[in-house]
Each structure stands twice: as structure tokens, then as C-alpha cells.
Structure 1
Amino acid sequence: MQMRLTAVNLDCPDPLALAAFYGKATGLPLHERSGGDFAGLVGEHGLVIGFQKVAGHRPPTWPDGEVPPQLHLDFDVDDLDGAVAELTALGASVPPGRPRPDLWRVLLDPAGHPFCVSARRGGAA
């Protein structure tokens, strides 16, 4: 048996708002079926980053872990400091604690999910 990954979905309180954040951050287009309780972005090879509405959603509380993150997304960027500045301007926040800031930066999306940005090989740190 061989499986092909087609989507990664994040629970959130407002799918369209979270899709807008990641859409601006990545440049990925909105999935044609976005609206209501689901929104998605279409990536390379048709991979969808989906956002689904969950009533009573409790965002992860990274780094304290009271509500643990179930997954996180990683993105490569050319300039770590520049990416952090742009992402916080879009609505991301920087949590306390900075494990290995020379290699990657942890941020929280507007729904509280942690995600990482790493310097692309050959890019500036």
C-alpha cells in the first residue's frame, strides 16, 4: 500500500481568517470550496492546508504545554528576522522562549497554533 498526503488540517475558531493569514504569508491561493466551516489553501502538487471550524476551540499554549500543540507547520524563509517582522505584522505573535533562534523561530498564528520559520539554505540568518 502506498499513501499520498493530500491535506493537513488545523482546527480553529475562524477558518477564513486563518486561511487569510497563511495565504498572505505563503502566497498560496484559496481553495475553491472555502467558506463556512472550512477554508483551505492549495499548495504544490495539490497539497491542501485546511482550516476547520471547531466549536470551543482551545489554542495550544506553547511553550507551557497546558494545552499541547498536536502539530506544527515548518516554513523555509530567506531572512529569519525579516520573516518574523512580516509575519507579526500579519497577525502572528512571538511566544516567550526561543529555542535555537540561530536556526529557527517559533511563532503563533492568529488562532494560537505554533509554527516555525527556518533559514533556507543559502539564505540569510
Structure 2
Amino acid sequence: MLMKLTAVTLDCADPMALATFYHRATGIPLADRSDDEFAGLRGPDGGLFLGFQRVDDYRPPTWPTQTVPQQLHLDFDVDDLDAATARLVDWGATLAPSQPEADRWRVLLDPAGHPFCLTVPRPPS
């Protein structure tokens, strides 16, 4: 039996604000909103669903320390690390204080504190 990943949901304090950030960053359209409790984006043709759910007393991850574990992170391919980083910071992300391989990866924190990475894809070998 094979499983198909259909959704990833992130906990946060403000689902619509986080959905708006990821919509701006990816262009994936807003697909679902339930009061102030939930918002989501769905890729074209029924693609992957990215959801955001409100959690009482939400505490953002403390990356790279694990005082509050990150639990997951998202990776995104971009054409230009510097331009993408600047645009995402302008939209509310912050550059993480630790950058393990800044020439290859950029680690940012979304407006809710979730770490995510940007990378320029490697050419196929």
C-alpha cells in the first residue's frame, strides 16, 4: 500500500495571517477559512493542501535550540537566495540567527516562528 501526502498543517496563533504570508510567498491560492480557527491553501489541480490552525497559548519553535522543538520545517526552491530572502523578510519572515550553510541554504522563520528553508535547486547529475 502506498500513501499519498495530501496536507501539511501548521499550528499558529493567527491562521489567516500565516495563510496570507504563505500565499504571498508561494502564490498558492487561499482555499479554506473557518472563522479565526483555520485557514488553508491548496495547490492547483487538487495539489498539496497547506493548512494553518489556531492553537491556544501557541509558542513558536526556538530554532536552532530545541527549548520549544520545531517539529517540522518546510523547504522551498528559489531562483535567487538573496532576492527571495529579502522579499520574504519584507512580508514578515525573519532571518534565523544561525545559518549553517548560508551559501546553499537560507533558514528563515515565518511570522509564527516556524523555521523554513530556501535553496537554489542543484542541476540534475
Distance 1:103 1:70 in 2: 22
Report deviation, 1:102.
1.2
1:1-125 correspondence runs (5 A): 1-31=1-31, 33-36=32-35, 37-44=37-44, 45-121=46-122
Q: 4+ residue runs of structure 1 moved beyond 4 angstroms?
A: none
**Other structure's SS at 2:59 match:** coil
TM-score by length of 2: 0.92
Amino acid at match of 1:35: S
Q: Is the 8 Å Cα contact of residues 16 and 35 (structure 1) preserved in structure 2?
A: no
- Corresponding pairs, count: 121
Q: CA deviation at 1:46?
A: 2.0
Can you give the 5+ residue segments of structure 2 that lack an aligned partner in the other structure?
none
TM-score (norm 1): 0.92
Does structure 2 conserve the Cα–Cα contact (< 8 Å) formed by 1:75 and 1:116?
Answer: yes
How far apart are residue 120 of structure 1 and its match? 2.7
Question: d(CA) in 2 for partners of 1:3 and 1:58?
Answer: 31
Residue deviations 1:17-71 (CA, integer Å, cap 9, x gap): 000000000011001x313211011124421000011111111011122101000
Q: Distance in 1 between matches of 2:4 and 2:121?
A: 25
Q: What's the % identity of the aligned pairs?
A: 61
Gaps of 5+ in 1: none
CA RMSD of aligned residues (A): 1.2
